[in-house]
Amino acid sequence: MNNATAVSLLAQLNAGEVRSEDVVRRYLDRAESHKRLNVFVHLDPERALDQARAVDARRQAGQPVGALAGVPVAIKDLLCVEGEPTTCGSRMLRTFRPPYDATVITKLKEAGAILFGKTNMDEFAMGSSTENSAYGPTLNPWDEERIPGGSSGGSAAAVAADFAPVSLGSDTGGSIRQPAAVCGVVGLKPTYGRVSRYGLIAFASSLDQIGPFTHDLADAALLLKVISGHDDRDATSVDRAVPDYPATLDKTPGSLRIGVAREFFGEGLDPEVETAVREAIRIYQKAGAIIEDVSLPNSKYGVPAYYIVAPAECSSNLSRYDGTIFGHRAEDWSPKYPGEEDLHPLVRMMMASRAEGFGAEVKRRIMLGTFALSAGYADQYYNQALKVRRLIRNGFDEAFKKVDVILGPTSPSPAFKLGERTADPLAMYLSDIYTITANLAGIPGLSIPCGYTRSNLPIGLQLLAPAFAEENLLRTARVFERETDWHARRPGLS
Closest to 187 (Cα-Cα) out of 203, 175, 200: 175
Task: Decide whether 322 or 481 has the Cβ nearer to other proteins.
Answer: 322
Residue from the set 131, 208, 322, 481 that interacts with other proteins by CB under 8 A: 322
Catalytic residue among 20, 133, 151, 353: 151
Task: Decide whether 255 or 319 has the Cβ nearer to other proteins.
Answer: 319
Residue from the set 45, 85, 243, 304 that interacts with other proteins by CB under 8 A: 304
Q: Work out how close the CB of 337 gets to other proteins at its nearest, in angstroms, rounded to a whole number.
A: 7
Residue from the set 324, 341, 397, 402 that interacts with other proteins by CB under 8 A: 324
Task: Decide whether 15 or 235 has the Cβ nearer to other proteins.
Answer: 235
Look up 315 and say whether it is catalytic.
Answer: no
Please tell me the distance from the alpha carbon of residue 182 to that of residue 61, in angstroms, as a whole number.
43
User: In the β-sheet with 209-214, what is the strand arrangement from edge to edge?
Assistant: 40-42, 114-119, 72-76, 166-171, 209-214, 186-189, 445-452, 458-464, 405-409, 257-261, 290-294
Task: Decide whether 262 or 336 has the Cβ nearer to other proteins.
Answer: 336
φ/ψ of residue 253, rounded to 5: -60, 140
Q: Work out how close the CB of 456 gets to other proteins at its nearest, in angstroms, rounded to a whole number.
A: 34
DSSP-derived pairing of the beta strands 290-294 and 209-214: unpaired
Look up 151 and say whether it is catalytic.
Answer: yes
Q: Which residues ranging from 446 to 465 are in contact with other proteins (CB under 8 A)?
A: none
Please tell me the distance from the alpha carbon of residue 176 to that of residue 78, in angstroms, as a whole number.
13
Strand partners, 143: 140
Q: Work out how close the CB of 38 gets to other proteins at its nearest, in angstroms, rounded to a whole number.
A: 25
| Residue 324 per-residue DSSP state | S
Residue burial 218-234, b: 16+ Cβ < 10 Å; e: rest: bbbbbbbbbbbbebeeb
Please tell me the distance from the alpha carbon of residue 30 to that of residue 477, in angstroms, as a whole number.
30
Please tell me the distance from the alpha carbon of residue 284 to that of residue 264, in angstroms, as a whole number.
18
Binding track, positions 181-220, relative to other proteins; x by CB under 8 A:
----------xxx------------xx-------------
> Under rule CB under 8 A, how many of the chain's residues touch other proteins?
78
Strand partners, 445: 189, 464
Binding track, positions 228-257, relative to other proteins; x by CB under 8 A:
----x--xx-x-------------------
- Expressed in angstroms, the distance from the first to the final Cα of the chain is 17
Q: Does 42 bind other proteins (CB under 8 A)?
A: no
Stretch that binds other proteins, among 67-75, 177-185, 257-265, 298-306 (CB under 8 A): 298-306
Complete DSSP assignment for 434-459: TTHHHHHHT--EEEEEEEE-TT--EE
Look up 133 and say whether it is catalytic.
Answer: no
Residue from the set 124, 264, 333, 416 that interacts with other proteins by CB under 8 A: 333
Stretch that binds other proteins, among 22-30, 45-53, 280-288, 336-344 (CB under 8 A): 336-344
Q: Which residues ranging from 418 to 447 are in contact with other proteins (CB under 8 A)?
A: 425-426, 439-443
C-beta contacts of 480-484 below 8 A and 24+ residues apart: 480/280, 480/283, 480/284, 480/287, 480/448, 480/450, 481/216, 481/217, 481/448, 483/283, 483/286, 483/287, 484/283, 484/450
Task: Decide whether 281 or 391 has the Cβ nearer to other proteins.
Answer: 391
Q: Which residues ranging from 77 to 136 are in contact with other proteins (CB under 8 A)?
A: 95-97, 99-100
Residue from the set 467, 473, 474, 479 that interacts with other proteins by CB under 8 A: 467
Task: Decide whether 248 or 384 has the Cβ nearer to other proteins.
Answer: 384
Apex CA 84: angle with CA 124 and CA 51, to 5°?
125
Q: Which residues ranging from 6 to 25 are in contact with other proteins (CB under 8 A)?
A: none
Q: Which residues ranging from 337 to 396 are in contact with other proteins (CB under 8 A)?
A: 337, 339-340, 343-355, 358, 363-364, 366-368, 370-371, 374, 380-381, 383-391, 393
Helices 20-33/45-60 angle, 10° precision: 160
Apex CA 412: angle with CA 461 and CA 390, to 5°?
85
Catalytic residue among 20, 128, 152, 175: 175
Q: Work out how close the CB of 441 gets to other proteins at its nearest, in angstroms, rounded to a whole number.
A: 5
**Catalytic residue set:** 76, 151, 175
